[in-house]
Chains A and B, each alone.
Chain A
Amino acid sequence: DTEVTQTPKHLVMGMTNKKSLKCEQHMGHRAMYWYKQKAKKPPELMFVYSYEKLSINESVPSRFSPECPNSSLLNLHLHALQPEDSALYLCASSQDGGGSYGYTFGSGTRLTVV
């Protein structure tokens, strides 16, 4: 299995809702990442988990809460989001820092906050 699977593919939520994004990989990768991508912009790093521990938080607002329950699974819990948080949320994984192969990305969750 050489894929990163993200669910759901699309999500519409209100500003008072609580929802979660899910990311799964079975490649034995020990680093997992959340990126946010606005339209026609490059991906921006949000969080990095290394060996199931949060190693980088790029000053992301607390309405985004990451969780890594095990080495294959990464969640992003969403609460009280704003319309400007609407974006494509990409999950990625890598073997340690990625070596010469970089990261494997999932196809993303397109989030719309109304």
Chain B
Amino acid sequence: GQNIDQPTEMTATEGAIVQINCTYQTSGFNGLFWYQQHAGEAPTFLSYNVLDGLEEKGRFSSFLSRSKGYSYLLLKELQMKDSASYLCAVRDTIYKLIFGTGTLLAVQP
């Protein structure tokens, strides 16, 4: 089966740093993506990892360990607009992107 797990909800303070974890067990692995989704809107692409290590893009960083089936998304200098759902997604075959359970992040003043 396919399992991609994330914490359901997280709360953080404006200006702080938050780490959202994702663990996965899938039949194949061709890369891991992080998406942001505001309520009622389309998911938007944040980051991509296919090799082990850290990828940094501005305030967002993502880490992957393929041997552990583990990734995290790190958000720095949190802003109120970062309140959203964060979706971890694994591409198991070249055309099949499977989403994790999603983490709803609330940023408080």
Contacts and interface: CB of A to CB of B under 8 A. Distances in A.
A97 B95 contact: yes
Given A45-B96, A48-B96, A96-B94, A102 B33 contact: yes
Contacts, number: 59
A101 B45 CA distance: 7
B24 interface: no
Contact of A42 (B87, B93, B96): B87
Given A42-B101, A90-B42, A106-B42, A101 B95 contact: no
Contact of B99 (A44, A48, A97): A44
A86 interface: no
A100 B30 CA distance: 10
Interface in B28-60: 30-31, 33, 35, 40-45, 48, 50
A11 interface: no
B66 interface: no
B99 A56 contact: no
B95 A48 contact: yes
Nearest to B34: A102
A43 B41 contact: no
Contact of B95 (A42, A55, A102): A55
